[in-house]
Structure 1
Amino acid sequence: MLRGLIHFIPWIAYGFVATSDEWRLGAVVGLVAAVALVAFDRRGGKGWDQMVIGLSAVAFFAPLTVYSFVQPGSPLTMYGPALVNVWLALTAWGSLIIRRPFTLGIARGMAPPEVWASPVFYRVNVVITAVWAVSFTIAAAVLADVLVVNPHATALLITVKAASFAVPALFTARYPGIARRRARAAARAGG
């Protein structure tokens, strides 16, 4: 599980560094981390499907970095945390729409090749990606609302941001084992 979370480093780094006062630094840190992660993964022989979140980070942070320097006082500044979750939700939902759950490539990097073609393997990744998508969607809505009502509710903002990663990460860690047990039980019952 922890190996899979490395793909979220640019997003997490942005969340820690970016503030309403200095979102430019957060954007730069997110972009540098994303480019470095993608370069490191490519040098390590990873396929593009294993880098969906890293590539998504480059696609998000590159224009955000430019925009943050061109319009440093933009009203979008305060919505940075919500925008991150909107983008991640779009990435996750989009990967499901095109039937290439973003977790599939990551899981292939951790699972033995003999299970990759299994319908159960694919289904597990659809479910896991859907949980991430729902988490990002809920976090985006909550963050946008909190930022409008009380933009200085730092503890609440941090809690929501952390939960939007922690909850699906815990699910990701546990669900494959549950799915394997269910598949074995179904095989025993059927055979």
Structure 2
Amino acid sequence: MSYLRSFIPWLVFVAVSTADWRWGAAAALVSAGSQVLQGRRTGSPADLLTVSTAVYFAALTAVAFADPDSPVHPWTAALSLGWLALTAWVSLAIRRPFTLVIAKRTVPSELWEHPLFRRVNVVITAVWAASFTVTAAALAGLREAGAPAGAAVAVQVAGFAIPAVFTARYPARARAKARSGNPVA
């Protein structure tokens, strides 16, 4: 569950924005900023997901306070997942899967350079990227169709739950396949 820490600003946004999207964005920005500062205090460079999250919420906070009735407001769920998708895909494109930093919190450092560790994180990041992409598109479609808020919540929950379950289960499956001599799938 160490990956949950990386998504705290997003959870803060969801929780606080139910009262007011402006304060939800501001609270998420403070949360993301504190993660960036915490990394600096510990000497850890900020990872792509943390920096991307701070940038997104800085922009969203500026928009929200500049125009509380902004046409962006109804689309924040889809935009948020779209931003996460973009971040995940970019992390793969630059060969720094965002899950590597998260996995290193719980995996011994002697395994960090192992090809299986890297491959597992590429696969897990790809699953998150695909899930964020599909979820963003589904949320945009639901918004366009005027679907009830409950449908959007269900899609968002599934969009995080499915890759979270995959993340929890896949590494053991990949290790078992590697021990049996089969290539990692």
CA apart distance, 1:117: 1.1
Name the CA distance, whole Å, in 2 between partners of 1:138 and 1:68. 25
**CA deviation map 1:34-70 (0-9, x unaligned):** 111222233234333xx33221110100011011111
- The code of the aligned residue for 1:174 comes to R
Name the CA distance, whole Å, in 2 between partners of 1:92 and 1:45. 24
- Tell me what 1:166 maps to: 161
- Tell me what 1:129 maps to: 125
Structure showing the higher helix proportion among its residues: 1
- Tell me what 1:68 maps to: 64
Name the CA distance, whole Å, in 2 between partners of 1:47 and 1:160. 33
Name the CA distance, whole Å, in 2 between partners of 1:117 and 1:66. 40
- Tell me what 1:101 maps to: 97
**CA deviation map 1:110-158 (0-9, x unaligned):** 111111111111110000000000010001000001111115x121111
Runs ≥4 residues deviating over 4 A: none
- Tell me what 2:2 maps to: 3
1:175 to 2:170 alignment:
yes
Residue identity over aligned pairs, in percent, reads 47
Unaligned segments of structure 2, at least 5 residues: none
CA apart distance, 1:165: 1.3
Q: What is the DSSP-based 3-state SS (H/G/I as helix, E as strand, rest coil) of the residue aligned with 1:75? A: coil
Report the TM-score, using the length of structure 1 for normalisation.
Answer: 0.90
- Tell me what 1:33 maps to: 31
**CA deviation map 1:71-103 (0-9, x unaligned):** 211111100000000000000000001111001
- Tell me what 2:136 maps to: 140
Q: What is the DSSP-based 3-state SS (H/G/I as helix, E as strand, rest coil) of the residue aligned with 1:180? A: helix
Name the CA distance, whole Å, in 1 between partners of 2:106 and 2:166. 16
1:186 to 2:185 alignment:
no
Q: What is the DSSP-based 3-state SS (H/G/I as helix, E as strand, rest coil) of the residue aligned with 2:2? A: helix
Name the CA distance, whole Å, in 2 between partners of 1:60 and 1:135. 19
| Residues 26, 61 of structure 2: 8 Å contact kept | yes
Unaligned segments of structure 1, at least 5 residues: none
| Residues 2, 105 of structure 2: 8 Å contact kept | no
- Tell me what 1:84 maps to: 80
